[in-house]
């Protein structure tokens, strides 16, 4: 079972920048929207696009989430980053904007859920996958939560419930950091004793800590 980790943060909060300290050969990066990373250090990235194909003589469209799901097992690195993962849902929504009814919303939710399940169920135990995701305000609770597409998805899929680790990226305009537990205004969470409440926004540190905590590639 792989380990999915959700990183919530508004644009400019340092989510993508937190990748910078990785060894480029030890991380695989899927880009769902942007074409470039916000620093000069070079990484091998894969820009995810919808793909047209044919199955049993029937034309199909593989959505971004389905493309990533198919490629996950081919990544040799033990750490994988999916940058701007909310666009997996947003891009499918806009690409199917002319469709009426609820089916497209169910499909969007299923494609994202299936991607998380693929990480949980199909990847080796020593693979970590980071979903860098934008937040939004929950109109019912007033808490900051993972951004989805519409109330129907929120009612059927509590995104944070699919993750054991949800970190929130913060900035005061100068410094950047992650919070690891909710302060009552968001959905951040992590297992007891894994992190301090406030840690540097450095995914190398986060990844090392997770591996040591679970005893994969390090001490318990």
In this structure, of 29-38, 44-53, 131-140, 146-155, the range with the lowest mean pLDDT score is 146-155
Give me the sheet containing 79-83, strands edge to edge: 45-47, 27-31, 79-83, 128-133, 3-8, 165-171, 176-179, 198-200
- What is the 3 state secondary structure string of the chain? CCEEEEEECCCCCCCHHHHCCCCHHHEEEEECCCCCCCCCCCCCEEECCCEEEEECCEEEEECHHHHHHHHHHHCCCCEEEEECCHHHHHHHHHHCCCCCCCHHHHHHHHHHHHHHHHHHHHCCCCCEEEEEECEEECCCCCCEEECCCHHHHHHHCCHHHHCCEEEEEEECCCCEEEECCCCCCECCECCCCCCCCEEECCHHHHHHHHHHHHCCCCCC
Tens-place pLDDT, residues 6-34: 999 999 999 999 999 999 999 999 999 99
User: So where are the chain's domains?
Assistant: 3-214
Pairing of strands 176-179, 165-171: antiparallel
Q: Is the pLDDT of residue 218 over 60?
A: no
CATH of range 3-214; options 3.40.50.300, 3.40.250.10, 3.20.20.140, 3.40.50.2300? 3.40.50.300
d(CA 37, CA 192): 32
pLDDT tens readout for residues 49-94? 998 877 677 888 889 999 999 999 999 999 999 999 999 999 999 9
């Amino acid at each position: 079972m792989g380990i999915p980790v959700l990183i919530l943060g508004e644009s400019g909060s340092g989510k993508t920048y937190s990748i910078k300290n990785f060894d480029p050969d030890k991380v695989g990066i899927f880009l769902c929207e942007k074409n470039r990373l916000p620093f000069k250090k070079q990484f091998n990235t894969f820009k995810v696009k919808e793909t047209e194909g044919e199955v049993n003589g029937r034309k199909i469209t593989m959505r971004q989430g389905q493309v990533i799901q198919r490629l996950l097992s081919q990544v040799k690195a033990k750490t994988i980053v999916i940058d701007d993962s909310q666009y997996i849902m947003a891009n499918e929504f806009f690409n199917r904007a002319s469709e009426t009814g609820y089916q497209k919303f169910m499909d969007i939710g299923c494609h994202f859920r299936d991607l998380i399940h693929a990480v949980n169920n199909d990847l080796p135990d020593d693979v970590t996958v980071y979903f860098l995701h934008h937040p939004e305000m929950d109109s019912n609770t007033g808490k900051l939560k993972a951004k989805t597409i519409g109330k129907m998805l929120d009612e059927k899929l509590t995104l944070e419930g699919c993750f054991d680790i949800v970190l929130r990226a913060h900035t005061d305009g100068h410094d950047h950091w992650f919070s690891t537990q909710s302060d009552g205004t968001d959905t951040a969470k992590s297992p007891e004793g894994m992190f301090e409440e406030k840690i540097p926004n450095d995914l190398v540190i986060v990844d090392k800590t997770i591996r040591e905590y679970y005893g994969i590639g390090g001490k318990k």
